[in-house]
C-alpha cells in the first residue's frame, strides 16, 4: 500500500477542513493505528465536517449520533424486535454497526450509554440480552466534547477516556483561515463541484496498518518512549513540582498508543523508521487525557499540556 494514497486523502481533508492540518493528520494517524478519537473544541470548528469528509474518502459507511441525557443504550447498540408474523424476536442493529461513528457531545449521555459505548470501543462488540454481536473490522469512533457548557453533562470516566487513542484540542482559526472558510462555504452554496479522491477500500487500510506496525523503532527510542510514560507515574524522580501536580500517571495502554501513533506518523511522513520527533509530535495527543491532575494542579490552573511539556524537557532524548 502506497503512502501517496493517504497523502491524497490528507489533501482532500485539508481542502474540506480549512486551517486544521494537525487535526486532519491526527484523524489519519488514528485510522492507521486502529484507534478512536476524542475531539474537544467550541462549536462550529468543523469537527462533524471532518469525519464526514473522511467517510467520503473511504469505502465505508458513516453514522452520526447526537448524545443527549435521554439517550438509551439500545439507541446505540440496537435491540430485539418482536415480529408477530413469525412469532420470533429479530435483532435490529444500531448506529454502532457502521464503520465510522460520530458520537457528538459524548459527555451529555448518562453512564449506561457510556458503558455500552465503552464495550464497543474496547471489545469491538456489543451485547444485547444474552447475545454478543461483532462490530465491523473497520470501526472508528470519533467523539466530540464542547468545553464551554458543563451544565447537564456527565464527565467521562477515566476507564473510558483511556480507551481513546488520542485526545485532540481544536481551537479557533485565524483571520486568513476564516476568509478561506467563507469562500469554501460560499462555493458549496453555489453547488461548485469538489474533486473527491478515489475512495480507499478497506483492504488498503488493513494493508497500510501492517506496514505501520513494521516501521523500525530503534531500541534506544523504545526505551525513550517508555521513560516518558514512566515519568508520568514516578514524577518525583524528575521534579518535585511534577510530583505535586500529577495524581495518577498513564497506563500501559498509553505506551501502546504512543508507540502506534509514532509509527503511523513516521509512515505518513514517508519514512520506514521512527525518530524522536515522531514520538514528541504525537505525545500530547496520546497522553493529555491519560494523566490525572491533583487538586493542587487544578487550583493553580496548571494544565495537562503544561505538565507533559515539562516531562519532555526532563526526559533525555537519545
pLDDT of residue 151: 62
Q: What is the mean pLDDT of residues 270-276?
A: 94
Domain count along the chain: 2
CB count in 10 Å sphere of residue 294: 15
Q: Of the residues 133, 154, 189, which one is the last residue of a structural domain? A: 189
293 in any annotated domain: yes
Which of the four pLDDT bands, split at 50, 70 and 90, describes residue 152?
low
Residue 41 pLDDT class (50, 70, 90 cuts): confident
Q: 37 with 103, same domain?
A: yes
Same domain, 175 and 245: no
Same domain, 185 and 221: no
pLDDT higher than 90, residue 47: no
pLDDT at 205: 93
Q: Is the pLDDT of residue 307 over 80?
A: yes
Q: What is the largest CA-CA distance in the chain?
A: 70
62-78 mean pLDDT: 90
Residues in the chain: 318
Q: Region 152-156: what's the mean pLDDT?
A: 73
Residues 306 and 165 in one domain: no
Final residue in a domain of this structure, among 171, 189, 207: 189
Query: Would you say residue 201 lies in a domain?
Result: no
Q: Is residue 290 part of a domain?
A: yes
- The predicted pLDDT at position 141 comes to 93
Query: Is the residue at 197 inside a domain?
Result: no
pLDDT band at 254 (very low <50, low <70, confident <90, very high): very high
Residue 204 covered by a domain: no
* pLDDT category of residue 32 using cuts at 50, 70 and 90: very high
pLDDT of residue 260: 96
Cβ atoms 67, 109 nearer than 8 A = yes
Q: Give the model's pLDDT for residue 86.
A: 81
DSSP string, 224-266: HHHHHHHHHH-GGGT-HHHHHHEEE---HHHHHHHHHHHHHHH
85-121, pLDDT tens digit by residue?
A: 888 888 888 899 999 999 998 888 888 888 888 888 8
Q: Could you tell me the three cell numbers for 216?
A: 523500525
Higher-confidence residue of 207 and 45: namely: 207
In a domain, 208, yes or no: no
Question: What is the pTM (predicted TM-score) of this model?
Answer: 0.90
Residue 99 in any domain: the answer is: yes
Of 251, 312, 244, residue with least CA distance to 284: 312
- Give the least confident one: 212-226, 258-272, 277-291, 294-308: 294-308
> Considering the chain, what percentage of its residues have pLDDT values greater than 90?
43
Looking at residue 260, which CATH number applies to its domain?
1.10.8.80
Whether residues 184 and 221 fall in one domain: no
Query: What is the predicted pLDDT for the residue at 122?
Result: 87
What pLDDT was estimated at residue 269?
A: 93
- Please give the C-alpha separations between residue 132 and each of 129, 159, 199, in angstroms, as whole numbers: 8, 21, 31
Domain that includes residue 32, residue range: 3-189
Provide mean pLDDT across the span 21-36. 93
* 167 and 280, same domain (yes or no): no
Do residues 170 and 308 both lie within one domain? Answer: no
* 292 and 228 assigned to the same domain: yes
In-domain check, residue 207: no
Average of pLDDT values for 19-35?
92
The mean pLDDT value of the chain amounts to 88
Amino acid at each position: 500500500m502506497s503512502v501517496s494514497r493517504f497523502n491524497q486523502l490528507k489533501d482532500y481533508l485539508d481542502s474540506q477542513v480549512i486551517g486544521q492540518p494537525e487535526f486532519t493528520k491526527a484523524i489519519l494517524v488514528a485510522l492507521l493505528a486502529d484507534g478512536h478519537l476524542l475531539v474537544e473544541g467550541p462549536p462550529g470548528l468543523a469537527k462533524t465536517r471532518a469525519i464526514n469528509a473522511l467517510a467520503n474518502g473511504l469505502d465505508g459507511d458513516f453514522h452520526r449520533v447526537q448524545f443527549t441525557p435521554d439517550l438509551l443504550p439500545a439507541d446505540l447498540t440496537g435491540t430485539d424486535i418482536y415480529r408477530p408474523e413469525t412469532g420470533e424476536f429479530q435483532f435490529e442493529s444500531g448506529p454502532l454497526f457502521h464503520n465510522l461513528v460520530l458520537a457528538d457531545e459524548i459527555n451529555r449521555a448518562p453512564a449506561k450509554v457510556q458503558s455500552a459505548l465503552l464495550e464497543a470501543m474496547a471489545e469491538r462488540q456489543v451485547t444485547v440480552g444474552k447475545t454478543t454481536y461483532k462490530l465491523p473490522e473497520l470501526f472508528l469512533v470519533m467523539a466530540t466534547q464542547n468545553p464551554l457548557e458543563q451544565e447537564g453533562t456527565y464527565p467521562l470516566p477515566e476507564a473510558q477516556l483511556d480507551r481513546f487513542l488520542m485526545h485532540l484540542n481544536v481551537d479557533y482559526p485565524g483571520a486568513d483561515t476564516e476568509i478561506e472558510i467563507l469562500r469554501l462555504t460560499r462555493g458549496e452554496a453555489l453547488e461548485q463541484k469538489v474533486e473527491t479522491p478515489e475512495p480507499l477500500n478497506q483492504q488498503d487500510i488493513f494493508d497500510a496498518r501492517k506496514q505501520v506496525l513494521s516501521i523500525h523503532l530503534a531500541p534506544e527510542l523504545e526505551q525513550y518512549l517508555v521513560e516518558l510514560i514512566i515519568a508520568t507515574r514516578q514524577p518525583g524522580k524528575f521534579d518535585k513540582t511534577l510530583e505535586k501536580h500529577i495524581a495518577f500517571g498513564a497506563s500501559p495502554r498509553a505506551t501502546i498508543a504512543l508507540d502506534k501513533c509514532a509509527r503511523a506518523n513516521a509512515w505518513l511522513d514517508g519514512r520506514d523508521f521512527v525518530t524522536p520527533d515522531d514520538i514528541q509530535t504525537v505525545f500530547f495527543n496520546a497522553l493529555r487525557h491519560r494523566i490525572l491532575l491533583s487538586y493542587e494542579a487544578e487550583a493553580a490552573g496548571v494544565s495537562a499540556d503544561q505538565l507533559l511539556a515539562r516531562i519532555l524537557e526532563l526526559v533525555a532524548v537519545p
